[in-house]
């Protein structure tokens, strides 16, 4: 764990170019953004002038006047414990490193951090190296949780007007992910979905007779001539990625992609820009 903390601090140091602003939705007077209205929202929150310009209703959000909690979630499921080559890190290793590096960056900037876990959430108030140590311990305990528990975090664990960073491979069921994202929008809370994938997951670079063993209780699948299904596999993977992007866009959230053969600084820089309000909006 000490080496992991040092690596996270090094990565965070390359991105920390100053304190980011409080640009996030919350109680205040300054305009922040328009977002699509969700079922069940009070009519009084709808901005009728903006809604008249479109075929759907929009809500006007204002900018928070104080620091808000940033909630972090790192996917503990067994599908994260895989890599396609010994020279690559496990998806879980990349996810843990990025989650801890982002936590280090946020704590350095005086933010309040909450780690979402399968049990009760863990709050990490800012407080120097000790705060990062507490986050690392809580994160490692979460990742040691039963890998068969693939449940996503519950929106009720998230404070109103918080920011949420979800780090995982995105290979869960789309209905479950859609329910989570809609629940976060209704809190309201704004999420960043960071997809951490092995490059082989997008390409299926195998050929010949191959046996595939599932990591989450799936049946073993043996294929002779894997290259014959590569095109169909790529199309299915692309559709799944597009569906995730559409879920984020329609619910007012952001999606960032990271492959385990890429430098972690690139993903952390994109996360920092998004949290600072400089990232691309949906």
Comparing 142-151, 165-174, 251-260, which segment has the lowest mean pLDDT?
A: 142-151
What are the pLDDT digits (tens) for 191-246? Answer: 999 999 999 999 999 999 999 998 888 899 999 999 999 999 999 999 999 999 99
Q: Where are the domains of the chain?
A: 31-63, 68-276
Per DSSP, 209 falls in state: E
What is the separation of C-alpha 271 from the centre of its chain, rounded to a whole number of angstroms?
9
* Topology annotation, domain 68-276: Rossmann fold (3.40.50)
Please say whether the beta carbons of 105 and 267 come within 8 A. Answer: no
Q: Is the pLDDT of residue 24 over 50?
A: no
Phi/psi-derived region of residue 40, left when phi > 0, alpha when psi is between -120 and 50, beta in every other case:
left
Number of H helices, E strands in the chain: 8, 10
Enumerate residues 6+ apart whose C-beta is below 8 A from 77. Answer: 147, 149, 150, 168, 172, 216
Q: Please state whether beta strands 113-115 and 122-124 pair in parallel, antiparallel, or not at all (unpaired).
A: antiparallel
What are the residues whose beta carbons fall under 8 Å from the beta carbon of 189, sequence distance 6 or more? 71, 155, 158, 159, 160, 161, 162, 163, 164
Phi, psi (deg, nearest 5) at residue 25: -70, 145
pLDDT digit string (tens) for 65-81? 445 689 999 999 889 99
Per-residue pLDDT averaged across 55-59, rounded?
A: 84
The residues with which 223 forms a beta bridge, in sequence order, are 210
């Amino acid at each position: 764990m000490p080496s992991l903390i040092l690596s996270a601090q090094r990565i965070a140091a390359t991105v920390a170019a100053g304190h980011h602003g409080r640009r996030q939705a919350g109680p205040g007077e300054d305009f922040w953004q328009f977002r699509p209205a969700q079922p069940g929202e009070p009519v009084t929150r709808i901005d009728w002038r903006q809604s008249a310009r479109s075929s759907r209703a929009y809500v006007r959000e204002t900018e928070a006047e104080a620091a808000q909690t940033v909630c972090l979630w790192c996917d503990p499921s067994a599908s994260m414990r895989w890599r396609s080559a010994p020279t690559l890190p496990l998806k879980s290793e990349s996810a843990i490193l990025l989650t801890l590096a982002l936590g280090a960056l946020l704590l350095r900037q005086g933010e309040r951090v909450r780690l979402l876990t399968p049990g009760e959430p863990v709050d990490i108030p800012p407080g120097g190296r000790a705060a990062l140590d507490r986050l690392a311990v809580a994160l490692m305990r979460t990742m040691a949780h039963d890998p068969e528990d693939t449940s996503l975090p519950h929106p009720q664990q998230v404070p109103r007007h918080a920011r949420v960073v979800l780090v995982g491979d995105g290979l869960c069921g789309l209905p479950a992910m859609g329910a989570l994202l809609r629940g976060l929008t209704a809190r309201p809370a704004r999420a960043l979905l960071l997809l951490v994938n092995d490059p082989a997951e997008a390409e299926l670079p195998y050929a010949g007779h191959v046996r595939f063993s599932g990591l989450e209780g799936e049946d073993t699948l043996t294929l002779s001539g894997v290259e014959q299904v590569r095109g169909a596999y790529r199309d299915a993977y692309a559709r799944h990625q597009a569906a995730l992007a559409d879920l984020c866009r329609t619910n007012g959230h952001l999606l960032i992609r990271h492959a385990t053969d890429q430098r972690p600084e690139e993903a952390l820089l994109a996360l920092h820009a998004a949290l600072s309000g400089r990232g691309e909006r949906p």
